[in-house]
Chain A
Amino acid sequence: MAYFLGLLVALVGFWLGMSGHFSPLLLTFGAVSVAVCLILAYRLDIIDREGAPYVRILGYAMYFPWLMKEIVKANITVIRACVKADLDIVPALVKVKTTCRTDLAKVTFANSITLTPGTVTVEVEGDKMLVHALYEQEAQPEAFEDMDRRSRIAADGKGADA
């Protein structure tokens, strides 16, 4: 039920943000659209923890600033590599083990790795991820431990410590 309410609020907010008109006719259209979306989501059986992850919004809100900081730091490294007169990159494939248990946490972790420039998740298999990195020395498995822990807390909460 909480997932259903979360999806409802998100859809209504999205419609209002997109349209910005408050005349009865357009509000009716909005209500119909939201209702159709909810019915379709219910029939597809995707109103669950992954389809409506709005309960975890606080965790993600805490995770996001840290991720932004990491993205900025990584961007500076890659931009320097791009404009340097001599190419000095050391590409490498590294295996990263994750402590994330649920799919949502794994997706968060893998997407965070891909989102930071200089590292791309190539393959996810069980709890191992194959990561391609631009600089080998910056992609040691220890470098991902912090991100792993933070994305697990963001997606699963502190109680999910395995």
Chain B
Amino acid sequence: MGDLFANIADFWGMVRFPLGAALCLGGGILCLIGSVGVLRFPDFYTRLHAASITDTAGAILILLGMGLMAPGWLVVSKLVAIFVFLFLTGPASSHAAANAAHTAGLQPVIGPIGQRSDDDDEAA
């Protein structure tokens, strides 16, 4: 039985770093996709949605990856603190930006955007 646990621990030690690195890479790619969305979307409010990918999915994956690669529980506890504060303050700042734009009178673009008809494709 002790043998089995030792094997599992060995396996975990071997798999930990590649897995953490893969998660970090995935998070980085998601952040990149979020940036692409920020560049492509038409107005302020929709760009905020694209930025929230970076806020949530990217941050979660990168923090998970760093947690897997962490050398000890002390680092993990700090990462957990970062996670909690990010989740409390992220939406608050998004809301503050959106609310400020709304209060200042910025009108959002409403309705279907960029749905090109076949005629446009042929013309282009």
- A positions within 8 Å CB-CB of B: 14, 17-18, 20, 71-72, 75, 78-79, 81-83, 86-93, 110-112, 114-123, 130, 132, 134
Contact = CB atoms under 8 A, between A and B. Distances in A.
Interface of B: 30, 33-34, 36-37, 40-43, 45-46, 48-50, 52-53, 55-57, 60, 74, 77-78, 80-81, 87-88, 90-92, 94-95, 98-99, 102, 108-116
Contacts of B74: 17, 20
A85 B110 CA distance: 20
B49 to A, nearest CB: 5
Contact of B113 (A14, A20, A90): A90
Nearest to A119: B49
Contacts of A112: 91
B74 to A, nearest CB: 4
A75 B60 CA distance: 12
Given A87-B113, A91-B108, A134-B49, A115 B41 contact: no
Given A81-B37, A82-B53, A117-B49, A122 B98 contact: yes
Contacts of A82: 33-34, 36-37, 40-41, 50, 53
B84 to A, nearest CB: 10
B91 A115 contact: yes
Given A82-B34, A123-B102, A134-B49, A114 B94 contact: yes
B49 A90 contact: no
A91 B113 contact: yes
Contacts of B110: 91-93
B57 to A, nearest CB: 4
B90 A115 contact: yes
A62 B53 CA distance: 24
Contacts of B99: 122-123
The 10 closest A-B pairs by CB, nearest first: A87-B114, A82-B37, A114-B91, A17-B77, A20-B74, A111-B91, A117-B52, A75-B57, A122-B98, A132-B45
Contacts of A121: 91, 95, 98
Contacts of B102: 122-123, 130
A83 B90 CA distance: 23
